[in-house]
Structure 1
Amino acid sequence: MITPAEAQERVTRLYERKMPEWAVLGAAEPVVDIPLHPPTQEKVLADTKGAADWIASWRAAERSLGEGGRLVWESKQWANAGTQRMPSRLVLADPYDVAVFITRKGHWQAAESRTAELRVLLESHQAGTGLAPVEQISDVLRRRIKKIADLGQPNYVRVREALEWLLRNPQPGIYPRQMPIRGVDSKWLEKHSSLVEPLYAAAAATASLGLLQPPGLIRLRFLGPELAPGGLCDLAAPAAELSRLDLVPVGVVVVENLQTLLALPEIPGTVAIHSAGYAARKLGGIAWLAQAPVLYWGDLDVDGFQILSLVRAQLPQTHSVMMDRSTLTAHQDLGGPDRKDAPRTLPEHLTGVERDGFAALEQLGGLRLEQERIPWGYALEHLDHGLAALPKPDMR
């Protein structure tokens, strides 16, 4: 015997799975038709009260069904139990009736009305562009209608108004906080970008909202105080602005760990740069680095070698330090497992020693040795040797 609670649980699972399709594509009736497995004569005789309670529970549930919901009742004539009328099937005609049965009527009404409203908005704009969509509107709605339906009304209105404004003002070239929509700012847009961006792309045929992003900052320390502009030995600025500095350092140290950058001692003629992981791709935008001797020291892990390769692709004169097998094995006890999804493809721009260090990571069990784990005395000694081995720049 299936109880009303068990039926609700089963129908709820169906609703969670099928609701996006129902909201976007519609549903064939009936959407639910499930047998309730009423008790047999033997069960009625063995537990008369249990059978009566089961029937009563379904009578109570029947009173709260929507207009398209119904129970199919059947009369059973038994030799030893007489005639019994009991429910045999639950039939729910459409998604609205499903939502009523599982007490999610408001959720379904939001999903249905918001789907229709957003479809009109997106299709009316798409018709005016004549461009091929990044994703079909029906597909983008189906993939995201759960999140859309779960939004509170104020946030849904902001999503709709943000989409409408962006579609009317393509590539506006302003920061999110400048958008003239009450409640929409950079933090709001960041939180709701997984909805706004794909919905916009389906109508505008481009994934870019055309909004400005804050420029990434690169942090520098002038280990040689004589190089510091205006006496500022520690500063952060966009690559384009750092490029304006008139510098000819005798050496540049690129490190991955911020505290390593801050702890480095004074070294005449030397600049230290915090690479901040894959943000190292921005180093190529600093003009004076193209002629500077560069020494890279990153984490001894798969990503560290990928970043080293990225830096050398932009600055071919880059040398490395403590990115080798000997450093890894000397501090193997300080390492730990690398992330399981780390890319194992050998990076392109590595020297023979570096390729051997990369291979050692896998050979030692997928090891990862972070830069800050290496003892400071060992690190300073090897940095000193690395800087001394760099070719001297042309000072003319």
Structure 2
Amino acid sequence: MRLPEDVRQWLDRRFHNKKREWLRDDTGEDQWPLEVPLGVPTEQAALKQIDGVRAWVSAWQSWQGIGTLSWCERRWKALGVQRLPEKLTLRNADEVSLWIGASTRWERAQSRYQTLTTRWPMLAQPLPKYFDILADYSEADFRRLADILDWIHCHPQSNLYPRQIPVAGIDSKWLESRKALIADLMATLQGEPTGERDFFRRCGLRAQPQLLRMRVLDPSLRARLGGLGDISAPCEEIAGLDIQPKQVFIVENLQTGLAFTDLPGTVVIMRLGYAVDVLGRLPWLQQAQCIYWGDLDTHGFAILHRARTYLPHLKTVLMDESTLMSHRDLWGEEKAPHPATELSLLTHSEQQLYQSIKENTLGQHIRLEQERIRWDVAWDVIKASIR
């Protein structure tokens, strides 16, 4: 037996699951009217809970709300003729939204859906999946979204940097969190598959060059670069440098790379994080011995796995269980471990340690940042790795 509050909760779940479908077609004959059975009990069930049945009937007798309430008559042997609430019928999503207190969001989403699809009918299919954006954006943000779609649609190959777009209120921070949304909608407007979400290519805009920071640790190599030892430049320019290092260290964090002192024939690349795909664009890496040193946590091993896609023979230092366990007093907490259960490009021992950290075998959510490793220990290992 569903009380009004039970119906509200059921309709709330229904709205959450169906709102996108309803937004696209609020008049579908197969969806409306929506009938909600109220759970009329059998006589046997009613006899077991007389007070409950009375409270249920009373609740619906005093109910005054949205929709059409239908009653039925039951002729029971022991209880006589009873008039009971049978079902609630709602004509459309407007009535559902009123029932659950979501009419403002629903009306706003509908209005904005109509605004965008009137301008661009082809958006009728992809827009409903962005229901929450349509329902919850401020007026200013919705206007910016419509304006930037309009501008990019009219200037598909501007080759401007995003900050150069002449649309009021558009800045880097605003765009950064909406790249996927804009790329997806622009793909539809351009009649192309929506799977391609390269924001810059899709929108005909120019991306800032990806800067790579590296240090040249050998005086003879620095001499070939006019004495430069600490370099931050676009990846394409660094790829063209006239150097042939014997060893290249790739370290996850900036301060670790800054701590390196001179080593013969050596270069250190710093702070790439997951952007290790640039390693495949540096031809002078291919003849060098490449050594990776990252944090001892699941993400450190995930970055190593990704880097080996581009440098299959990449070795590691200080990413072993012995290093981890000898620095227990300096462990931190990894709050969001990497989701993969296995990383296929790790060695057997690396895979074992990755899974031990992920499965909390050695401790709860542990991580050892590379900067925490005692530098005298780390530097001895680094020097020994190139002898």
Q: TM-score band (shorter)?
A: 0.7 to 0.9
Runs of at least 5 residues in structure 1 that lack an aligned partner in the other structure: 125-136, 348-353, 389-396
One-letter amino acid matched to 2:311:
R
Q: Does residue 184 of the first structure (1) align with residue 170 of the second (2)?
A: yes
Cα distance in 1 between the residues matched to 2:78 and 2:382: 95
1:328 counterpart residue number: 321
User: Cα–Cα, structure 1 residues 283 and 33, in superposed 2: closer, same or farther, change >3 Å?
Assistant: closer
In the superposition, relative to structure 1, how do residues 374 and 138 fare at CA in structure 2: closer, same or farther (>3 Å)? same
Q: Which residue of 2 aligns with 1:141?
A: 127
Q: CA deviation at 1:250?
A: 5.5
1:361 partnered with 2:353: yes
Q: Decide whether the 8 Å contact of 2:276 with 2:303 is kept in 1.
A: no
Residues 292 and 314 in structure 2, CA contact (< 8 A), matched pair in contact too: yes
Aligned to 2:237: 241
Q: TM-score, length-normalised on structure 2?
A: 0.74
1:106 and 2:104 aligned: yes
Offset from partner CA, 1:46-88 (integer Å, 9 cap, x none): 5999578625530xx23xx3xxx22224678999999987754
Q: Which has the higher contact order (CA 8 A, sep 6+)?
A: 1
Q: Given the superposition, is the C-alpha separation of residues 340 and 240 from structure 1 closer, same or farther in structure 2, using an over 3 Å criterion?
A: closer
Larger radius of gyration: 1
Q: Is the 8 A contact 1:252 1:292 kept in 2?
A: yes
CA contact (8 A) 1:297 1:322 kept: yes
- 2:19 partner amino acid: M
Give the count of matched residue pairs: 357
For residue 219 of structure 1, give the secondary structure of its aligned residue in structure 2: strand
The one-letter code of the counterpart of 1:261 is G
Superposition pairs for residues 1-396 of structure 1, below 5 Å? 2-26=2-26, 27-28=28-29, 29-35=32-38, 37=40, 54-55=59-60, 57-58=62-63, 61-62=64-65, 65=66, 69-73=67-71, 87-123=85-121, 138-204=124-190, 205=192, 207=196, 208-224=202-218, 227=222, 233-243=229-239, 245-247=241-243, 249=245, 251-267=247-263, 270-286=266-282, 288-289=284-285, 294-299=290-295, 302-312=301-311, 320-322=315-317, 327-329=320-322, 331-332=324-325, 334=327, 339=337, 341-342=339-340, 344-347=342-345, 355-361=347-353, 371-372=370-371, 374-388=373-387
5+ residue gaps in structure 2? 197-201
Matches of 1:52 and 1:280, distance apart in 2? 66
Work out the percentage of aligned pairs sharing the same amino acid: 31
Q: Secondary structure at the match of 2:274?
A: helix
State the distance in 2 between where 1:80 and 1:295 align.
86
The structure with the greater share of residues assigned to helix is: 1
| 3-state SS of paired residue (1:277) | coil
SS in 2 for 1:271: strand
Go from structure 1 to structure 2 and tell me whether the alpha carbon gap of 1:88 and 1:297 turns closer, same or farther (over 3 Å shift).
Answer: closer
2:199 aligns with: none
Backbone CA RMSD of aligned residues: 4.1
Displacement after TM superposition at 1:274 (Å): 0.8
Please tell me whether the aligned partners of residues 209 and 234 of structure 2 are also in contact (alpha carbons under 8 angstroms). yes
Q: CA deviation at 1:158?
A: 2.0
Is the deviation greater in 290-299 or in 191-200? 290-299
Deviation of the 1:260 alpha carbon: 1.4
On the 8 A contact 1:38/1:88 being kept in 2, the answer is no
What is the deviation of 1:21?
0.8
Q: Structure 1 CA distance, aligned partners of 2:36 and 2:239?
A: 70
TM-score normalized by the length of structure 1: 0.72
Distance in 1 between residues matched to 2:47 and 2:274, nearest whole Å = 71
Verify the 8 A CA contact 2:38 2:85 in the aligned structure 1.
Answer: no
